[in-house]
Amino acid sequence: MLNMRNRKRTTERGKTPAHIMLRAAREVKLNNKSIRGAGTDYDIPERTLRRFLQKVTDEELYGTNELPTTAVGYIKNRQVFSDDQEKQLEEYILKAADVYFGLSPKQIRTFAYEWAVSLKIKFPDSWNTNKCAGQDWFTYFIKRHAGLSIRTPEATSLARASGFNKHSET
């Protein structure tokens, strides 16, 4: 079994909703309130509000729109493939299983590495060293795609495989 890491969130930092961040930013810019004071009023860390003020555009700040397009909080910085690419990888694994070519976890990790290299995506250095994706990547990939059930495939006998073939119905 893989060594799984389960991180428990200990604070709610980085979870401030975008509309509250915008309201606090407007207090600072329009009402000349201090960043520290607005952060205290809206329960936002000072550094977070300062960083948001550097990113937010004037149209967002002075417009009537309630939701800014500026990203707030933490981003997924450790995911190697985009959501679309992971969906394609999931479809490939399912298609391989449908044609009786089940992939083992090690084969999936090796394929993920080779695919990342061909797409010229940035990935951890350990992938280059091992020539395959890491166990942690695989664990979280399986968690994100619960429809996959990956285990070491068993060989399908030739008689059973040919029984599914349309030409053998004679």
Q: What's the first-to-final CA gap in the chain, in angstroms?
A: 45
pLDDT of residue 166: 67
Confidence of residue 169 (pLDDT cuts 50, 70, 90): low
CA separation for the pair 149, 138 (Å, rounded): 12
**Does the global pTM surpass 0.75?**
no
pLDDT of residue 113: 95
- pLDDT tens track for 22-67: 889 999 988 999 999 999 999 998 998 998 888 888 877 777 766 6
- pLDDT tens track for 58-109: 877 777 766 666 666 665 567 888 889 999 999 999 888 888 777 889 999 9
CA separation for the pair 138, 46 (Å, rounded): 37
44 and 21 in contact (C-beta within 8 Å)? yes
Confidence of residue 1 (pLDDT cuts 50, 70, 90): very low
Considering the chain, tell me which residue range(s) the CATH 1.10.10 domain(s) occupy: 18-62
36-39, long-range: CB within 8 Å, 24+ apart, which pairs? none
Q: SS3 helix, strand, coil % of the chain, rounded to 5?
A: 55, 0, 45
63 and 121 in contact (C-beta within 8 Å)? no
Does residue 168 carry a pLDDT above 60? no
Burial 23-56 (b: 16+ CB within 10 A, else e): ebbbbbeeeeeebeebbeeeebeeebbeebbeeb
Does residue 167 carry a pLDDT above 60? yes
Confidence of residue 165 (pLDDT cuts 50, 70, 90): low
- Sign of the Cα pseudo-torsion (143, 149, 155, 161, in order): negative
- pLDDT tens track for 103-144: 889 999 999 999 999 999 999 999 999 999 999 899 889 988
113 and 133 in contact (C-beta within 8 Å)? yes
- pLDDT tens track for 2-17: 555 677 778 777 778 8
Tokens of 87: 């969906």
Where does 18-62 sit in CATH, by number?
A: 1.10.10
4 and 139 in contact (C-beta within 8 Å)? yes
